[in-house]
Amino acid sequence: MAERTNSGHWTEADIPEQTGRTVLVTGANSGLGLRTADVLAGKGARVLLACRSPERGARALELVRRAATGAAPELVSLDLADLASVRAAAASVRELTGDALDVLVNNAGLMATARGKTADGFETQFGTNHLGHAALTWLLLPALRGGQDARVVTLSSVAATGGGLSLTDPNFEHRRYNPGVAYAQSKLANQIFAVELDRHLRTAGEHVISVAAHPGYVGTGLGAGMARSYENPLLSRGILAVNRIGETLFAMRPEQGTLPQLYAATAPGVEGGDYIGPNGIGGLRGHPTKVRTLGAARDAVTGRALWDLTAKLTGVTPDPA
C-alpha cells in the first residue's frame, strides 16, 4: 500500500449534505458503524442501522435518532453469520427503501475470534466478514440501481496486507486454524471482493460503484469481542488486557478511524475500485486518502475465482452476473 495520493486533512466537516440519500450501515450498533450512522444522519441522510442484537440495536437507534437532521433512522435485523437472516434483511431493506438505496456500508466484522462456525457451517470470520457481506451486497444490487450515484463501501483492514486467501480451504477444514490468519484472510477477501464487484459493475455499464476502505488502528470494541470468544478465562482476560493497553497507547478514537469509510461513502471524486485509508506511516493513523490496493485485489484471476467460490458457498446468484 505504498502508493498514495494526498487528499489533504479531510474531516467530517467536508462531508457534503446528505439530505435525500438513504444509507444502510451494517454493524451500526457500536464502534465505527455507530459513528458512521450517527454522522451521516447528522448530515441529513436517512440511515438504516443493520444490527444483530435487538437490544444493542435499539440503543444505537436512539442515539442516532437524536443526531438525525433529516428522515428518522430505522433498525434492520441482520445476522451476517446466518444467510437466512441476510436474505430476510435484504428483502426488508428493499421494501423499506422502495428499491432506492444510495449507499451500502459493509462495516460489521469479527476479529481474531476463537474457532467457530456460522449457522451455515462456514468458518466464523470468513463466513461473517466476507460471505455474509458479499451475499447482502448481491441481494441489494436492485435497490442500489435505484439509488442516485450509488456506492458500496466494504471495510478491509491493514491486517489484509500480511494475509493470504486459500480458495481450496477457506473454512480451515484441512489446515490448522489460526485466529489471526483467519481474520487476515477474511479482510483480504473483503478487499478482493470490493474490487471484483467494481470490475463487474463497469463491465455491465452500471452507475453503481464499489469502493474499499480500511480504518487503520482504531479502538472499536472488536478486541473485547475477540477476548469473549475464548472459553479459557485466563486467555480471555489476557487478550483483553493486552488489547486495552494497545488501544490506550496507540489506537485512534472511532471519530478519527471512521473517516476513511465516510470519505469513501460521500466524498466527490471517489471512483470505483478506489481503496481509502489513513495517510500515516503503515496506514495505521492519519487522515483519509486513496491508497494502493493489494496485489491479490488487482489480480482479475483471483477476483473471479473468489467471486465464483462465494456464489457456490452462499447459493446467492451474483449481481451483476
DSSP string of 243-295, one letter each residue: HHHHHHHTPBPHHHHTHHHHHHHH-TT--TT-EEEE-SGGGSSSSEEEEPPPH
Q: Contact at 8 Å (CB) between 36 and 215?
A: no
Catalytic site residue 217? no
The answer for residues whose C-beta is within 8 angstroms of residue 5's C-beta and 6 or more apart is 289, 290
Within its chain, how far is the Cα of 44 from the centroid?
A: 22
Among left, alpha and beta (phi > 0; psi -120 to 50; other), residue 282 is: left
Give strand pairing partners of 245.
none
User: Which of 170, 169, 97, 182 shows the shortest CA–CA distance to 140?
Assistant: 97
User: Which of 210, 205, 209, 204 shows the shortest CA–CA distance to 191?
Assistant: 210
DSSP string of 101-145, one letter each residue: --EEEE-----SPPS-B-TTS-BHHIIIIIIIHHHHHHHHHHHHH
Q: Given the residues 177, 183, 230, 275, select the one marked as catalytic.
A: 183
- 164/238 Cα distance (integer angstroms): 27
* All cell numbers assigned to 287: 487522515
Identify residue 98 by its one-letter amino acid code. G
Catalytic residue list:
183
